[in-house]
Amino acid sequence: MLLWGGQVVSTLGSAASSVVYPLLILALTGSPAAAGIAAALGSVPYLIFCLPAGALIDRWDRKRVMIVCDVGRALTVITVPIALWFDVLTIWQLYIAAFVEGSLFVFFNIAEVAALPRVVPAAQLPQAAAQNEAAFGAAHIVGPSLGTVLYQTLGRAAPFIADAASFLVSSLCLMFIKTEFRLAKPSPVGDLRAEIVEGLGWVWRQPLIRYMAFLTGSLNLVNAGTMLILIVLAKQLGASEIEIGLIFSIGGIGGIVGSLIGGQIQKRFSFGQVIVCVMWVNAALFPLYALVPAYLLLGVVAALLYVLSPIYNVVQFSYRLALIPDALQGRVNSAFRLLAFGFMPVGAALSGFLLEQIGAVPTVLLFTLWYTLLAILTTFNRHVREARPIGQVAGVKS
């Protein structure tokens, strides 16, 4: 509960500032491409640091890594309101802040995922994942509206101050956790490259996990650009900053619904049934963004799509954690996330470029074609269709 509570507060702060970042960049530059570059810089650290971070997390104290990263992110975020206060903020500072915060998130995220099986028994991982998704869904209901209200009423600096404070709360919660975040003591320090290769090799030998890493990355290619697409569409439909925050808050309601039913769906349906269904519904709903006549309906479409994300995450995340040996958690999860998050810089930069060059509606249609291709590939992947129940894979050592 301490780990969960700290992450809820941190996610709330991040949700409040994340919608403000592109709004601030658009206000400074008027360029969707510039906003896309900032989003890409926040994701590109996964391509650079993901694999070495995974090997290092299996050596280091996971809790200490998470605390240091939280404090570092707080210090990074607070530089934005300081620069605003002295009227010296530039797009380059926002680019640097995005990169530094994204780099620290890589280490924090891999350590957190590696620690979760030590905090929660394997049989309860699906419920724990669902509880996380429910809380994060609630944060994404409140966060965007909170951020845009702070931005428009108290000033541009306010959402970033709130975000920095949320990272400090998360670090305090971690300090009070007494549970050890690893099962086995780390092995003697060896060749870092060999340890990275060991994690990559484990993923490669698991065809289902390998495909799910590719699939998750392909979904994140679109997800990385969706926020900017919605902001541009909403502005074209006449929405103010506060109303844009409301759109994302409406979308967050879908995340709550998905997290509440995700655990039950995981129990009632097979892995393959859930994943294939999610892919086809994604492909069917995404083009509705281009068709709605009013900005609030963007939130309704987002809510329908956000229902799917927690369901997908609960199923694939709990399945993966139950299968990975503890000594390899950091390396294997970093290898998985290299693919899962490695497409995000491409998606963020691509969405900004497409929005500026061809417009919002053609961009939505192009991403819809990508979703459809993924749905077809997933439907015909036998490893997805024939995946065993999670109870049969928990504790397997490969």
Q: What is the DSSP letter of 44?
A: T
> What token pair was written down for 69?
């990263």
pLDDT of residue 396 exceeding 80: no
Q: How far is CA 163 from CA 14, 20, 58, in A?
A: 6, 11, 29
pLDDT of residue 292: 92
Mean pLDDT for the stretch of residues 336-357: 86
Contact call for residues 232 and 33 (beta carbons, < 8 A): no
- Angle ∠(159,256,224) on CA atoms, nearest 5: 55
* pLDDT tens, position by position, 163-210: 899 899 988 988 888 877 766 555 555 667 777 787 788 888 888 888
The closest alpha carbon to 374, from 293, 284, 303, 252, belongs to: 284
Please tell me the least confidently modeled range out of 24-28, 111-115, 369-373.
111-115
pLDDT of residue 389: 63
pLDDT of residue 323 exceeding 70: yes
> What token pair was written down for 295?
């900005």
Alpha carbons 109 and 163: distance in angstroms, whole number? 17
Alpha carbons 162 and 314: distance in angstroms, whole number? 29
* pLDDT tens, position by position, 71-130: 999 999 999 999 999 989 899 999 999 899 889 988 888 888 777 777 877 677 777 777
pLDDT of residue 221: 92
Angle between helices 329-342 and 207-236 (to 10 degrees): 40
**Sequence letter at residue 175:** M
Per DSSP, helices labelled H in the chain are 2-18, 20-29, 32-43, 45-57, 62-85, 91-119, 125-149, 158-175, 192-205, 207-236, 241-268, 271-285, 295-323, 329-342, 344-357, 360-379, 382-385, 390-393
> What token pair was written down for 173?
């919660």
Alpha carbons 213 and 219: distance in angstroms, whole number? 10
**Domain residue ranges in the chain:** 2-176+195-388
| Mean pLDDT, the chain, integer | 84
pLDDT of residue 370: 96
Considering 22-26, 260-264, 281-285, the range whose residues carry the highest mean pLDDT is 281-285
* 87 Cβ contact partners less than 8 Å away, ≥ 6 residues apart: none
* pLDDT tens, position by position, 137-158: 777 777 778 888 888 888 888 8
Yes or no: is domain 2-176+195-388 CATH 3.40.50.720?
no
CA 287 to chain CA centroid, nearest Å: 22
